[in-house]
Structure 1
């Protein structure tokens, strides 16, 4: 999985936040996980793994960072603080393609 820019993650967050409350619910996150990975988690499983029922944008960034590190060889790059991507092509990114 390639690293996405902070701007891309913000856009994805806003697309997922269907009710516009600035939070992603366990249901919205479950839908994302199922859409990009084909893995179904119950709402209880999502909440249990997050330790809460919803995430704000900063928590979503941490969530993204954790799933990108788990999906690779442990050497995945984090999104730089300036939000600049180091050559990621949008067509190569599953999350970007979803939106």
Structure 2
């Protein structure tokens, strides 16, 4: 079975996300969510396209970036979870894993 890939947007713990993802048997793509002039779809397109689901750390980025991610997820038919429980890496990865297992 192919490893699932979770794209996490927001925060600054890239290595921690990747480490926890390995423990949960999934690949992690990461972007801090900070983009000049608000969210720019081109900055996120490849990440969304290459993921199985997307986890957005709501408290770690701006509204415009969230709107851009939401639009891209619709465009590519990807599931998205808006994680509102802080910046914790374990919670974010678990939210993605739970979303994929619920499918």
TM class by shorter chain equals: 0.3 to 0.5
More helix by share: 1
Work out which of the two has the higher radius of gyration on C-alpha atoms and give 1 or 2. Answer: 1
Return the TM-score normalized by structure 1.
0.36
More strand by share: 2
